[in-house]
Structure 1
């Protein structure tokens, strides 16, 4: 079945025991996560900050903060571009990478997370269950909270509004 079907249930998490690859919409950029523990526990992160909402085109951004050594990005046609986002809630610039052909967000990096990157999980056929959400104070009133995750009022590691049951 084609990944364009969008049905994550056609991909059992066990099929990604040795890694998982996703692409941007035009397939110019491929991203592989090399992490056998990807689906062994909650790993994803949701962000409700205004900037992440804008780059995701949705009410939250689905991310995976991971060691950059566990990720391989291949830019087949030289379309990976960077936007330096200086207007962030933390005051620390965030480098936001995207495909310049199809505009798909790829990853974000920040000097606050040396050796880490934040992958945009919409690239992949299946997304790990989230363990935490940032800027949960910025959720829309119609958004239901996700059970069993830690909700941070603003940035990850800050004030906790709700402790998850991991």
Structure 2
């Protein structure tokens, strides 16, 4: 996949960003943490190998790290509460909540992960593979 520049923003417009790099993974995650942080049946998360640049509002971005979680954190706008991306240095990845994007990524969702944690009322999509946890 080719490098892509993806721009996004929060609901109130106070925060704007651009993630530049190669989209690597795009998953719908049904784990309980993603359900709680989104208030929905799953989170749609895009992972881009590259950089994250804040166009405006970086001072409006807060992060909550779940104390007992190895990889889970939630970045959000302190004004409107919209989820926002975060850079994960140990993997050189930008974690992007796909709903925050203003641009269309070239990569489409590849799978549903943590499907064993899916709520009975949550949506399903037969065209996507499902994994009980992270895929290999």
The answer as to whether partners of 2:52 and 2:86 remain within 8 angstroms in 1 is no
Unaligned runs of 5+ in 2: none
Larger Rg: 1
Residues 1:140 and 2:126 aligned together: no
TM-score by length of 1: 0.65
Q: Which residue of 1 aligns with 2:85?
A: 107
CA displacement at 1:59 relative to structure 2: 0.6
The answer as to whether partners of 1:44 and 1:129 remain within 8 angstroms in 2 is yes
Q: Which residue of 1 aligns with 2:54?
A: 73
- Going from structure 1 to structure 2, the CA distance change for 1:56 and 1:143 (only over 3 Å counts) comes to closer
Unaligned runs of 5+ in 1: 1-16, 159-166
Residues 1:117 and 2:94 aligned together: yes
- Going from structure 1 to structure 2, the CA distance change for 1:105 and 1:59 (only over 3 Å counts) comes to same
Please give the residue correspondences for 1:8-47 in structure 2 after superposition, counting only pairs within 5 Å. Answer: 19-35=5-21, 43-47=25-29
The answer as to whether partners of 1:63 and 1:119 remain within 8 angstroms in 2 is yes
Q: Deviations over 1:33-61 (max 9, x none)?
A: 334x65xxx95211111111111121100
CA RMSD in angstroms comes to 2.8
TM-score by length of 2: 0.77
CA displacement at 1:94 relative to structure 2: 2.4
